[in-house]
Amino acid sequence: MFQKMLIDGKLVGKDSKKKRIKVINPSTEKTFAFVPKGTKKHINQAVAAAKKAFPAWAATSQKKRQDIVNKMADVVADNAEMLARLMVKEQGKPMPEAMGEMAWTEGYLRHYATLSAKGRMIQNDDDFKIETRRVPLGVVAGICPWNFPVLVPFWKIGPALVAGNTIVVKPAPSTPVTILKILELCNKFVPAGVINAVTDENDLGPLLTDHPDVAKVSFTGSSETGKKIMAAAAGTVKRVTLELGGNDPAIVMPDVDVKATAAQIYGGAFLNAGQVCLAIKRLYVHEKIYDEMCDELVKLAKGAIVGDGLQQGSTIGPIANAEQFKKVKALLKRAKKDGKVLTGGVVKSKKGYFIKPVIVRDVKDGDDIVDKEQFGPILPVIKFKDIAKVGKAANASDYGLGASVWGKDVKKATRVAEKLQSGSVWVNQALNIGPHIPMAGCKASGLGVEQSTEGLEEYTQIQVLNIAR
């Protein structure tokens, strides 16, 4: 399979050995598709096309823009199964999760199609009429990671388009196929140049962040890359939205129903084989229930069916690419020295980047597996005694994306939650996100907001219209 890029309403790229990139299936380690090796010329063409399309798109009525975003939701819904199968091959997640990502994407797009960025009246009297307007920015660059190859690009495309901007999308190098396929299908009704997509070998991102005709960069990915993007954007004073890494703590109070809570925590930690920015990545459990909680988690982890996402019954797919597999394996090796691995580990018997869910106990703050973002199926469980101190431990991280507190006494749990330095804080649940809920990171987890009206506003500029009467 060879899937082309989209530039100025045309499918671009030659299927020749020198000009294509392999896309590897992480379950088989075999190449299953090719995409073009994008170049500087393609980036410049894509930005030029987006710049050319911008005035007409910005002048298109809000209703028409919303209709087009709704039609994109139709494309995702009508082709969900075909697209999900494609995504499993490039990213690995089990088919039910891939179908879930399609349903999520549809839902987010439908919600964006109901939004409009509104200004406000500041003064309206005999002397002045002063109001703010929310005007689009121009060309947006959407730079994306590989863990949600369809959802995350549409988190950018949806609001960018509704607000009246045009966009150049750069998928992650290892997961470009499904998003390009969707954009090809949408090309029938999206005006030329409004959405463009360029594929790369992890080398073209800086050309977008440096480009003088790009007004804003919306980035989702690691904190390390986010810092580089922020620095690069300074040269042309680009707007940036950065949704970065996380090391989300979950704090479990002694009064919980251990079995029920363990099941929810397991779900929040191991979705997408742990490759979720907002996954539970450090679990702090009160000493009274520590052993019992570890035992319950082990039971759940042992029940996981690790395998190719296309195989019926698989509950955990592979790590999405070789580079990440290497990183997670190194962390696991270290964790074995620092703590006690109760279950799970690398599956050596078959091809593919498979790791059976790992539960590791007797680890502490300062250990790599606790302090670093593992972004894989390993859950470190840390014992705590003092509720006042555990909040401090949870906050002693450069990250601040999400956090959760679990307890029967909801008031008490909420008091602990309020003190956590995180953009999202959940009580008795995990990963409850949605298009109507703003999502923002603290500290090194990001800058700005995605989703909801607040997220939409980030794709606009305030213009003050001040009229003397």
Binding residue for ligand NAD (CB under 6 A) from 36, 245, 307, 317? 245
Q: Based on the number of CB atoms within 10 Å of its own CB, is 96 exposed (0-12), middle (13-18) or buried (19 or more)?
A: middle
Region from 40-48, 242-250, 405-413, 452-460 binding ligand NAD, contact rule CB under 6 A: 242-250
- CB distance 342 to 258 below 8 Å: no
Tokens 């109070």, located at residue: 253
Residue type, 284: Y
* Residue among 142, 287, 278 at smallest CA distance from 217: 142
In the shown chain, the binding pattern of residues 384 to 423 toward ligand NAD, with x for contact by CB under 6 A and - for none, equals -----------------x----------------------
Element (DSSP H or E) covering residue 413: helix 410-418
Work out whether 31 is an interface residue with ligand NAD (CB under 6 A).
Answer: no
| Minimal CB distance residue for ligand NAD | 205
Work out whether 209 is an interface residue with ligand NAD (CB under 6 A).
Answer: yes
Tokens 């008091």, located at residue: 415
Work out whether 319 is an interface residue with ligand NAD (CB under 6 A).
Answer: no
Length of the chain: 469
Question: Given 243, 373, 450, 458, which residue is catalytic?
Answer: 243
**Any residues with CB less than 8 A from the CB of 402 and at least 6 apart, and which?**
246, 248, 277, 278, 422, 423, 424, 425, 426, 430, 431
Binding residue for ligand NAD (CB under 6 A) from 90, 106, 243, 296? 243
Number of residues binding to ligand NAD, judged by CB under 6 A: 29
The nearer residue to ligand NAD, 262 or 444, going by C-beta atoms, is 444
Work out whether 222 is an interface residue with ligand NAD (CB under 6 A).
Answer: yes
Q: Which two tokens stand for residue 64?
A: 């028409």
Q: Which two tokens stand for residue 155?
A: 């988190």
Name the DSSP class of 191: P
The nearer residue to ligand NAD, 13 or 407, going by C-beta atoms, is 13
Active site residue 97: no
Q: How far apart are CA 407 and CA 413, in angstroms?
A: 6
Q: How far apart are CA 443 and CA 406, in angstroms?
A: 23
Name the DSSP class of 114: T
The nearest distance, CB 123 to ligand NAD, in angstroms, is 38
The nearer residue to ligand NAD, 84 or 277, going by C-beta atoms, is 277
The nearest distance, CB 200 to ligand NAD, in angstroms, is 6
Active site residue 186: no
In sequence order, the β-bridge partners of residue 200 are none
* Residue among 237, 216, 208 at smallest CA distance from 44: 208
Pairing outcome for strands 128-136 and 121-124: antiparallel
The nearer residue to ligand NAD, 276 or 294, going by C-beta atoms, is 276
The nearer residue to ligand NAD, 36 or 164, going by C-beta atoms, is 36
Helix-then-strand count for the chain, H and E: 15, 24
Site residues (CB under 6 A) for ligand NAD, limited to 170-199: 170, 172-173
Work out whether 373 is an interface residue with ligand NAD (CB under 6 A).
Answer: yes
In the shown chain, the binding pattern of residues 132 to 171 toward ligand NAD, with x for contact by CB under 6 A and - for none, equals -----------xxxxx----x-----------------x-
For the chain, the maximum distance between any two Cα atoms, rounded to a whole number of angstroms, is 80
Work out whether 244 is an interface residue with ligand NAD (CB under 6 A).
Answer: yes
Site residues (CB under 6 A) for ligand NAD, limited to 37-56: none
Residues designated as active site: 243, 277
Point out which residues bind ligand NAD (CB under 6 A): 143-147, 152, 170, 172-173, 202, 205-206, 209, 220-222, 225, 228-229, 243-246, 277, 373, 375, 401, 441, 446
